[in-house]
Amino acid sequence: MTSTRSAFALCVCMLLCLASSAHAQAVNLPAEIPIFPLPDVTLFPGVSRPLLIFEPRYRAMVADALKGDRIIGMVVLKPGFEADYEGRPPINEIGCATEISEYELLPDGRYTIVVHGLVKFRVTSEDNRRPYRLARVDAIPETPKDEDLARLSALRERLSNLLVAIIPPGSDLPPAGISDATFINAVAMYVNIPDATRQQLLERNGLLARAQALIELLESR
């Protein structure tokens, strides 16, 4: 598993790279999107991650996405996927829709891409007409209510103080200028916790619940 220090270095790098090009926009998620199931990668809204795409079916997925809206749904495979990995093993139904913000087609046909989290979703059904997996999804926006903003900021401050105490000296935290929502999701995505716990954080009912769960996890260390 990636160390806490290197994970947060990656997080800070990705967030800073986005700062110059990100712009506020409403998420208009299609009813059906391609999904990219992985055993150990959970994405969160507002946060980015690089990926290497090497399987032929997912190269086709990326090529098709680049011709269209660039949206890919990231989902996590359920335990026991190994027996049917080449097929369509069961997935967790809660995932994160992402947009390909950067890409490079390598000479051997592989892609390096950077995906940026847009919105959480629930898979309602799948379609088998493509070599990769397509799913009908319902978006689950997590825009905080006005009355929750003060509480969210207070939880962010507690979370930031806890991180300062546990990460190695010299490690950087996510930039102070990012929103409370992005800060909380960046910590959830990059802090050193088990993969199953990260998926559980994504499934939490909103940002307040996710922040509180993160605080409880870090306080228990």
pLDDT band, very low/low/confident/very high, at 37 (cuts 50, 70, 90): very high
Amino acid at 20: S
Does 84 have pLDDT greater than 50? yes
Of 149, 178, 184, 179, nearest to 163 by C-alpha is 184
- Mean pLDDT (whole number) for 80-91: 76
DSSP alpha helix (H) spans, the chain: 4-19, 56-67, 149-166, 180-190, 195-203, 207-219
Are the C-beta atoms of residues 182 and 46 closer than 8 Å to each other?
yes
Environment class of 25 (CB within 10 Å of its CB; exposed 0-12, middle 13-18, buried 19+): exposed
Of 34, 39, 31, nearest to 92 by C-alpha is 39
Query: Can you tell me the distance from the alpha carbon of 137 to that of 128, in angstroms, rounded to the nearest whole number?
Result: 15
Does 5 have pLDDT greater than 50? no
Query: Can you tell me the distance from the alpha carbon of 100 to that of 61, in angstroms, rounded to the nearest whole number?
Result: 12
- At residue 13, the pLDDT reads 45
Share of the chain above pLDDT 90, in %: 65
- Mean pLDDT (whole number) for 107-111: 96
Query: Can you tell me the distance from the alpha carbon of 176 to that of 153, in angstroms, rounded to the nearest whole number?
Result: 12
Are the C-beta atoms of residues 209 and 152 closer than 8 Å to each other?
no
- At residue 3, the pLDDT reads 39
Topology (CATH level 3) of domain 28-140: 2.30.130
- At residue 116, the pLDDT reads 96
Give tens-digit pLDDT for 123-157.
999 988 899 999 999 999 999 889 999 999 999 99
Does 1 have pLDDT greater than 60? no
> What's the mean pLDDT when you consider all of the chain?
86
pLDDT band, very low/low/confident/very high, at 9 (cuts 50, 70, 90): very low
What SS3 class is residue 219? helix
Give tens-digit pLDDT for 174-185.
777 889 999 999
pLDDT band, very low/low/confident/very high, at 198 (cuts 50, 70, 90): very high
Tell me, yes or no, if the pTM score tops 0.75: yes
Of 173, 61, 195, nearest to 115 by C-alpha is 61
Spatial neighbors of 44 by CB under 8 A, at least 6 apart, are 96, 117, 120, 185, 186, 188, 189, 202
- At residue 190, the pLDDT reads 87
Of 49, 56, 96, 94, nearest to 74 by C-alpha is 96
Largest CA distance in the chain: 52
Domain ranges (residues) in the chain: 4-10+143-219, 28-140
Give the HSE-up count for residue 23: Cα atoms under 13 Å, Cβ half-sphere: 2
